[in-house]
Amino acid sequence: MTGVNFLVNIALFGIVGAVMAAALIGLLLVLSGRSKEAPAGLRVGFAAVSVLLLVAVPALAAAATLSGGGGFWAGFATAACVAAAVLAVNVLMLPMVARRQAAVSGGGVPAAPRPSLPVLAVGLLLCLLLGLLCAGAAALVV
């Protein structure tokens, strides 16, 4: 039964994290589209909320897995998969952000940016490290 909880936690928290990240990016695009340059406070605020989202949702997923009877490694895998889902949404929305930024700044529309393989590998490594951090914090709390 623990395996089912593990997969349900990944799906549930992954979808919630992905939707929240997409909504946050969309809100930033709308708010920054009203002026040529977004205020520094707005950018810092959105960066802080993004980091909080990237840490809180995987930590909650790891805590739910651990409290459901899963071990540390199941919590780690859950947190890492949820962080990867949030990262995937950010990577998939990158072309939209680039087009919107080009439209606001008045420049030409750039070709769709594609992250290179080393950039994606670093992102995966960060997801694994974040999974380890969140599972460790959840193990201390639960």
Q: Tens digits of per-residue pLDDT, 7-48?
A: 888 899 999 988 888 888 887 777 766 555 666 777 778 778
Of 116, 111, 52, residue with least CA distance to 86: 52
Alpha carbons within 13 A on the beta-carbon side of 33: 13
Please state which of the ranges 29-33, 64-68, 92-96 shows the lowest mean pLDDT: 29-33
Tell me the range of 32-41, 94-103, 129-138 where mean pLDDT is highest: 129-138
Q: pLDDT for 7-17, tens place per residue?
A: 888 899 999 98
Contacts of 141 (CB under 8 A, 6+ apart): 63
Give the mean model confidence (pLDDT) for residues 98-105: 73
State yes or no: pLDDT of 107 exceeds 60. yes
CA angle (47, 96, 23) in 5-degree steps: 50
- pLDDT confidence of residue 23: 86
Q: H helices of the chain, where?
A: 2-32, 40-67, 72-92, 94-105, 117-141
- pLDDT confidence of residue 42: 73
In the chain, the N- to C-terminal Cα span, in Å, equals 19
